[in-house]
Amino acid sequence: MTTTYELSHLRALEAEAVHIFREVAATFERPALLFSGGKDSVVMLHVAGKAFWPAALPFPVLHVDTGHNFDEVIEFRDRAVRRHGVRLVIGSVQDDIDAGRVVEEAGPRASRNRLQTATLLRSIQRHRFDAVFGGARRDEEKARAKERVFSFGDEFGQWDPRNQRPELWNLYNGRHRAGEHIRVFPLSNWTELDIWQYIVDEEIELPAIYYAHRRNVFQRDGMLLAHTRHVTLLEGEIPYQATVRFRTVGDATCTGCVESSAATPEAVVAEVAVTRVTERGATRADDRISEAGMEDRKKDGYF
Amino acid sequence: MPQLLRLATAGGVDDGKSTLIGRLLHDSKTIFEDQLAAVERTSRERGDDYPDLALLTDGLCAEREQGITIDVAHRYFATPKRKFIIADTPGHVQYTRNMVTGASNADLALVLVDARKGVLEQSRRHAFLASLLGIPHLVLCVNKMDLVGWSAERFSEIREEFSQFAMKLNVADLTFVPVSALHGDNIVHRSASMPWYEGTSLLHHLEEVHISSDRNLIDARFPVQYVIRSQQHDFRGYAGTVAGGVFKPGDEIVVLPSGFTSSVRAIWGPGGEPIDEAFAPQAVTVQLADELDVSRGDLICRPNNRPHLGTDVDAMICWFAEHAALRPGARYTIRHTTRTTKARVSALDYRLDVRTLHRDETTETLSLNDIGRIRLRTQQPLLFDPYRRNRGTGSFILIDETTNDTVAAGMITGPVLPAAQVVWQSTAVGRHERATRGLTVWLTGLSASGKSAVAVELERRLVAAGRPAYLLDGDNVRHGLNADLGFSAPDRTENVRRLGEVARLFADAGVVAVVSLISPYRADRELVRATHQAAGLPFVEVFVDTPVEVCEARDPKGMYARARAGEITGFTGIDDPYEAPDTPDLVLRPADGDPAAMAAKVLALLEG
């Protein structure tokens, strides 16, 4: 029994996220939860499930599928969705390419990351979602450090960092016009280490690629990329076997892995606690484009 | 079990605040190598001979170009003892909005002064805002001590000057630390250059400052946020975040504003973990022992410790809107706890000059970044405590209904008192000494539903039976007492309130007050019920439930026809809602017979 009436920092963060989920469920008509199979979205789904216990989740899960996936992640996604008994809505980048709505980048370094934004916005529009939960955290990147929990996108899905609504106490203003939607980030105040500690505490299952495994990899731009059917090797790039794990899950063509022997959540926590490079810095080629890379993309509607 | 500490930092462009935060992150080993590499690269490009740690926190392009911080940025770092969330805000007066935003949840505020310049207007303003927002702990960092030769005298001068000023504020805990953010002195480790300083380093203070007792653990407050229902599990529970006090299974509770009492059957944490004691800021689900109608916006508390319930509040607000000023009479949407309703600014008392703390009572508007005291009249009653007592039940935001922007943050100082000098005059005659016991019968329903006919018959029968009774008819009262009111929503609310007060006086005098009034809004009627309950007087709500088609067919005054023709607007049942009672004491339907038969049913209830 508690006598000091103190919450651990993880329970305080969980309570904050639960409050946000319930607030959205109470005040929006058509929310959806963005789910990639990445650890942040897995944790987000887990907390959402807890927020509405014993009832089922009152909103569906949305996956923006680049088509460039790790097989383990798709298999994991389908299992997670079944376990939570939620409806899965898929927005397919391939469909948008086939329909000519977007043009795929060419060349061996082509990535579908930028194309995701168009597919996301089209899915939101098509299903008339008025609130979309994202797993983004403020510790990931400088521009994200300034984004609100309720982040307002106009009808073009654009984020204007100069025109954000003040956000005070736990009084969120989700008012919007028809056709507009709000992005909601319940894990805003969590750090990478918090996420991992929570995964350990709650025994949350993740896709296997988060833990050390043997895989064919190759070096590119100072990063370690997986050699999958989705990438074309450049001259001089020689794949080799290594023991690696992924710190984030994204488009298989540009998500790097790190050499690691951490095969359990506990081992990952120990590793993260001493890591000296941010997870995006180490493993996301798409963020290295420029100093302002994330801010520009967020203005376009990227999560 | 590390605890969470939320801290707000404020400081100007030149105080070295960004450097201080960069130093905290760097020396506590929170900065990653790639972030530091980017900072070193940019610093070199700009020709600096040391890494400018300020670059770590100045995130957005526009800020880097202007060299200032324009928004609230959140930073995270942790030590084995605590995890810290920093809300970092710019210091200029034009960014008061940002500081208020960043500081709303803070446990501790960090204010910086430049040791060379001493306590400037800006530092005083930051301290004032911290006190206005009820931040319990304030730390004044006297920075750039290296530039004043590590002088103990200079530090003590600044401490004296600031302490003098802080006495005027409501600051519970004030601490001074001399530092050099640039060189790291007294940030993480005690400084060797200032042996005269006997306190701890800044980080040590942040790790040790006692915050557990800052919360209100006395006044149990649970605003209902969301109702969780599961047919499959035969479950109905009220989800929300505890805003004060401690709730335990078995506790006697009352649901406000309805006033229904019950007890706590069980409390569940997220995911169904049973909870013995729930306290702020836990997010829990409460099950009650009885089946009650409870919904979002209601508040659960203890019967003997209730918040204020009312539609009129005094509040301090900070105005956020760039393009529109606050004016008395303006209407907004108000978000308070989990309740959303409309509010009208009934008075603007003064604008506070945050530089001098001078009150300008001649002001007619509040503009961007202004702080002022206002009076609000809300459409539905709020369940509130003064902000000083409870940040959760004392705070609100105002939203502009056309732009949907959040235009103000408010801190309730208390209920509006009709006039501060008026005291309650007790009388010599007690209620039991009067010849008869009074009560109020409140007939509500659509226009032409037959309320008045029943009321007339009821009054006649009561008087015939020798009971003092008096009919208060909505239409009649509008000729005199309420002649100044129209039919807008706030006027209707006021109409109901006045009639409720009059009925209560009649009842108190031993008379049966028979009220016949459309009184379309549920909350207004609940307020009248609450007033009666508070006075220990019976209140009988009778819902004359005649379908709108029937009323419209009767239409004795031709009002429905005029409303349909668009000649009158805001007509209940046509283009303004009628909110039927959830749990009336009696429902009368056309099938119950003529007005005489209906009156007999009411009488039977009163006698039963």
Per-residue model confidence (pLDDT) at position A142: 66
Q: Which of B156, B185, B214 is the last residue of a domain?
A: B214
C-alpha pair distances (Å), B238 with each of A46, B227, B243, B283, B292: 20, 5, 14, 11, 11
Rounded Cα distance between A36 and A34, Å, is: 7
Contact B239 A22 (CB under 8 A): yes
pLDDT at B431 over 60: yes
**Residue of chain A whose Cα is closest to the Cα of B390:** A169
Residue A181 lies in a domain: yes
Per-residue model confidence (pLDDT) at position A293: 46
Q: State the residue range of the domain holding A230.
A: 207-288
- B285 and B326 fall within a common domain: no
Confidence of residue B96 (pLDDT cuts 50, 70, 90): confident
User: What CATH number should be reported for the domain holding residue A68?
Assistant: 3.40.50.620
Query: Which one-letter amino acid corresponds to residue B101?
Result: T
C-alpha pair distances (Å), B237 with each of A98, B84, B273, B294, B392: 48, 33, 14, 10, 21
**Residue of chain A whose Cα is closest to the Cα of B408:** A166
Interface test with A, best of B7, B74, B135 (most A CBs within 10 A): B74
Rounded Cα distance between B239 and B269, Å, is: 10
Per-residue model confidence (pLDDT) at position B12: 61
pLDDT at A128 over 50: yes
Instruction: Give per-residue pLDDT as tens, A61-109.
Output: 999 988 888 888 899 999 999 999 999 999 888 888 888 888 877 776 6
pLDDT at A292 over 60: no
Per-residue model confidence (pLDDT) at position B576: 83
Per-residue model confidence (pLDDT) at position A288: 44
**Residue of chain A whose Cα is closest to the Cα of B83:** A9
**Residue of chain A whose Cα is closest to the Cα of B211:** A6
- A186 and A214 fall within a common domain: no
Percentage of residues in chain B having pLDDT higher than 70: 91
- B163 and B50 fall within a common domain: yes
Residue B421 lies in a domain: no
Residue A165 lies in a domain: yes
Query: Which one-letter amino acid corresponds to residue A141?
Result: E
Check residues B224 and A289 and name the one with the higher pLDDT: B224
The total number of structural domains that make up chain B: 4
- B70 and B155 fall within a common domain: yes
Please answer whether residues B455 and B471 qualify as being in contact, where contact means their C-beta atoms are separated by less than 8 angstroms.
yes
Quote the mean pLDDT of chain B: 88
Per-residue tokens: A250: 């994204």
- A249 and A189 fall within a common domain: no
Per-residue model confidence (pLDDT) at position B592: 92
Per-residue model confidence (pLDDT) at position B583: 86
- Which of B131, B258, B395, B519 is flagged as catalytic? B519
- A45 and A178 fall within a common domain: yes
User: What CATH number should be reported for the domain holding residue B474?
Assistant: 3.40.50.300
Can you tell me which residue has the tokens 């890591």?
Answer: A275
Residue B55 lies in a domain: yes
pLDDT at B243 over 90: yes
In chain A, residues with a C-beta closer than 8 Å to the C-beta of B34 are: 277-278, 281-282
Question: What is the least distance, in Å, from the CA of B195 to any CA of chain A?
Answer: 33
Of the partner residues A19, A168, A173, the one whose CB lies closest to the CB of residue B104 = A168
Residue B240 lies in a domain: yes
Question: What is the least distance, in Å, from the CA of B57 to any CA of chain A?
Answer: 7
- Whether the CB of B266 is below 8 Å from some CB of chain A: the reply is no
**Residue of chain B whose Cα is closest to the Cα of A49:** B271
Can you tell me which residue has the tokens 């007890």?
Answer: B263
- A246 and A278 fall within a common domain: yes
Instruction: Give per-residue pLDDT as tens, B533-577.
Output: 878 889 999 999 999 999 999 888 888 988 888 888 778 888 888
The total number of structural domains that make up chain A: 2
Of the partner residues B230, B335, B405, the one whose CB lies closest to the CB of residue A54 = B230
- B136 and B11 fall within a common domain: yes
Contact B285 A2 (CB under 8 A): no
Task: Work out the end-to-end distance of chain A between its first and last CA atoms, rounded to an integer number of angstroms.
Answer: 40
- Summarize the confidence of residues B333-351 as an average pLDDT: 95
Segment 532-591 of chain B within 8 Å of chain A by CB: none
Rounded Cα distance between B240 and B599, Å, is: 43
- Whether the CB of B215 is below 8 Å from some CB of chain A: the reply is yes
- B599 and B459 fall within a common domain: yes
- B326 and B267 fall within a common domain: no
Interface test with B, best of A6, A10, A18 (most B CBs within 10 A): A18
- B201 and B327 fall within a common domain: no
User: What CATH number should be reported for the domain holding residue B289?
Assistant: 2.40.30.10
pLDDT at B426 over 60: yes
- How many interface pairs between A and B have CB atoms less than 8 angstroms apart? 187
Per-residue tokens: B160: 């004296």
Contact B241 A6 (CB under 8 A): no
pLDDT at B323 over 50: yes
Please answer whether residues B96 and B67 qualify as being in contact, where contact means their C-beta atoms are separated by less than 8 angstroms.
no
- B144 and B238 fall within a common domain: no
- Summarize the confidence of residues A192-221 as an average pLDDT: 91
- A33 and A150 fall within a common domain: yes
Residue A4 lies in a domain: no
Residue B262 designated active-site: no
- Summarize the confidence of residues A10-39 as an average pLDDT: 96
Per-residue tokens: B365: 């508007």
- B164 and B230 fall within a common domain: no
Task: Work out the end-to-end distance of chain B between its first and last CA atoms, rounded to an integer number of angstroms.
Answer: 60
- A23 and A156 fall within a common domain: yes
Question: What is the least distance, in Å, from the CA of B536 to any CA of chain A?
Answer: 35
C-alpha pair distances (Å), B125 with each of B104, B110, B138: 16, 13, 13
**Residue A119 backbone dihedrals phi, psi, to 5 degrees:** -65, -40
Residue B33 lies in a domain: yes
Residue B117 lies in a domain: yes
Q: State the residue range of the domain holding B403.
A: 308-415
Per-residue model confidence (pLDDT) at position B565: 85
Check residues B172 and B603 and name the one with the higher pLDDT: B603
- A111 and A43 fall within a common domain: yes
Contact A2 B212 (CB under 8 A): no
- A167 and A220 fall within a common domain: no
- B243 and B386 fall within a common domain: no
Per-residue model confidence (pLDDT) at position B312: 94
pLDDT at A143 over 80: no
Residue B370 lies in a domain: yes
Residue B90 lies in a domain: yes
pLDDT at A287 over 50: no
Can you tell me which residue has the tokens 């070193």?
Answer: B40
SS3 state of residue A149: coil
pLDDT at A285 over 60: no
Q: Which of B170, B199, B214 is the last residue of a domain?
A: B214
Instruction: Give per-residue pLDDT as tens, B462-517.
Output: 999 888 999 999 888 888 888 888 877 778 888 999 999 999 999 999 999 999 99
Residue B159 lies in a domain: yes
Confidence of residue B74 (pLDDT cuts 50, 70, 90): confident
- Summarize the confidence of residues A116-126 as an average pLDDT: 87
Question: What is the least distance, in Å, from the CA of A27 to any CA of chain B?
Answer: 9
Can you tell me which residue has the tokens 């203005």?
Answer: A299
pLDDT at B418 over 80: no
- A103 and A165 fall within a common domain: yes
- B354 and B272 fall within a common domain: no
Best CA proximity match to B271, nearest among A47, A57, A42, A61: A47
Of the partner residues B4, B226, B268, the one whose CB lies closest to the CB of residue A9 = B4
Confidence of residue A2 (pLDDT cuts 50, 70, 90): very low
Contact B405 A8 (CB under 8 A): no
Of the partner residues B104, B105, B399, the one whose CB lies closest to the CB of residue A175 = B399
Rounded Cα distance between A77 and A253, Å, is: 19
Q: Which of B301, B318, B337 is the last residue of a domain?
A: B301
In chain A, residues with a C-beta closer than 8 Å to the C-beta of B57 are: 145
- Whether the CB of B246 is below 8 Å from some CB of chain A: the reply is yes
Rounded Cα distance between B354 and B126, Å, is: 9
In chain A, residues with a C-beta closer than 8 Å to the C-beta of B4 are: 7, 9, 12-13
Instruction: Give per-residue pLDDT as tens, B26-39.
Output: 777 666 566 666 76
In chain A, residues with a C-beta closer than 8 Å to the C-beta of B72 are: 146
- B476 and B531 fall within a common domain: yes
Contact B228 A54 (CB under 8 A): yes
Per-residue model confidence (pLDDT) at position B93: 66
SS3 state of residue B517: coil
**Residue of chain B whose Cα is closest to the Cα of A173:** B406
Question: What is the least distance, in Å, from the CA of A21 to any CA of chain B?
Answer: 10
Residue A1 lies in a domain: no
Best CA proximity match to B284, nearest among A202, A22, A187: A22
- Summarize the confidence of residues A124-136 as an average pLDDT: 92
Query: Which one-letter amino acid corresponds to residue B507?
Result: A
- Summarize the confidence of residues A18-27 as an average pLDDT: 97
Rounded Cα distance between B54 and B147, Å, is: 18
DSSP string, B171-217: -SEEEEEE-BTTTTBTTTB--SS-TT--S--HHHHHHH---GGGS--
pLDDT at B242 over 60: yes
Per-residue model confidence (pLDDT) at position B442: 97
Check residues B379 and B483 and name the one with the higher pLDDT: B379
Residue A186 lies in a domain: yes
- A126 and A218 fall within a common domain: no
**Residue of chain B whose Cα is closest to the Cα of A281:** B34
Of the partner residues B78, B271, B320, the one whose CB lies closest to the CB of residue A53 = B271
Per-residue model confidence (pLDDT) at position B172: 81
Per-residue model confidence (pLDDT) at position B62: 47
Question: What is the least distance, in Å, from the CA of A203 to any CA of chain B?
Answer: 13
Residue A3 lies in a domain: no
Which of A244-253, B28-37, B63-72, B430-439 shows the lowest mean pLDDT across its residues?
A: B63-72
- Summarize the confidence of residues B446-459 as an average pLDDT: 93
Confidence of residue B299 (pLDDT cuts 50, 70, 90): very high
